[in-house]
């Protein structure tokens, strides 16, 4: 079933005349802002379709979708919420796949080496540590798990970003000493950071799913086919993500 669906997507991407160009509306997790903008630009140039992007925390986007927000595709920062949408009959199961595997990174504009950053975190010698809200942002959940595994005392020191983009801004603006952010954000801003070992938290498997609203939209199917393509994979890897196998 999945192979057949993938084949249909590929045909959709390759055989769309410019005269039939349409729009696809995507709900995109904040950590994927940089890659999504680059992918959308390339997709529009090669297919003629237009990708309209809306960014936010995975939890908030999920809430918007279940309340009827007009999205065709959901690019989440986890696997849980896309699966919930499938279970609830709001998305197509055969369209589910892991488009990226995220990395967590520790960032401070005043510390330039990974050793200094890790030592600062593990010593507890900081006033404010920014993480994304673990209730709505998968990167925040991973950060919470990391802090627990390292037994870091953060009582009274945590600052919560609504999403990973706001979390990064807390640190970049000096409102937090340190921040656990997406590695892709550091790549995009050419900033140094400590790449958190993936053994210290559960994998951040970011899944895409075609929503019911987009099932008859050629632009939506074309975008998913493009997202699975080798050129798209190269763009995604260039931001520091791994690629999933399905």
User: What residues form the annotated binding site for molybdate?
Assistant: 58, 164
User: Residue 108, SS3?
Assistant: coil
CB neighbour list of residue 234: distance below 8 Å, 6 or more residues apart? none
Show binding-site residues: 58, 164
CB neighbour list of residue 116: distance below 8 Å, 6 or more residues apart? none
C-alpha to C-alpha distance for 244 and 246, rounded to whole angstroms: 6
CB neighbour list of residue 217: distance below 8 Å, 6 or more residues apart? 22, 24, 72
The answer to whether residues 172 and 165 touch, using CB atoms and an 8 Å cutoff, is: no
Residue 29, H or E segment: strand 23-29
C-alpha to C-alpha distance for 135 and 73, rounded to whole angstroms: 22
- The position carrying tokens 């593990």 is 122
Between the alpha carbon of residue 141 and those of residues 39, 233, 244, the distances in Å are: 26, 25, 20
């Amino acid at each position: 079933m999945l192979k057949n669906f993938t084949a249909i997507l590929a045909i959709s991407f390759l055989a769309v005349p410019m005269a039939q160009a349409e729009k696809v509306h995507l709900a995109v997790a904040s950590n994927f802002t940089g890659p999504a903008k680059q992918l959308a630009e390339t997709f529009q140039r090669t297919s003629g379709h237009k990708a309209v992007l809306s960014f936010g925390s995975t939890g908030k986007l999920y809430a918007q979708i279940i309340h009827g927000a007009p999205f065709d595709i959901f690019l989440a920062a986890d696997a849980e919420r896309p699966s919930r949408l499938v279970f609830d009959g709001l998305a197509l199961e055969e369209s589910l796949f892991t488009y990226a595997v995220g990395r967590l990174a520790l960032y401070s504009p005043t510390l330039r080496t990974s050793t200094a950053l890790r030592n600062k975190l593990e010593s507890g010698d900081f006033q404010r540590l920014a993480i994304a809200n673990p209730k709505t942002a998968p990167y925040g959940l991973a950060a919470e798990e990391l802090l627990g595994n390292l037994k870091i005392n953060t009582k009274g020191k945590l600052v919560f970003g609504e999403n990973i983009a706001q979390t990064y801004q807390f640190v970049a603006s000096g409102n937090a000493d340190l921040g656990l952010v997406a590695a892709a954000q550091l790549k995009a801003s050419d900033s140094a950071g400590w790449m958190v070992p993936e053994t210290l938290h559960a994998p951040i498997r970011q899944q895409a799913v075609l929503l019911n609203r987009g099932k008859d939209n050629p632009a939506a199917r074309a975008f998913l086919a493009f997202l699975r393509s080798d050129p798209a994979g190269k763009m995604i890897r260039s931001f520091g993500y791994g690629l999933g196998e399905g």
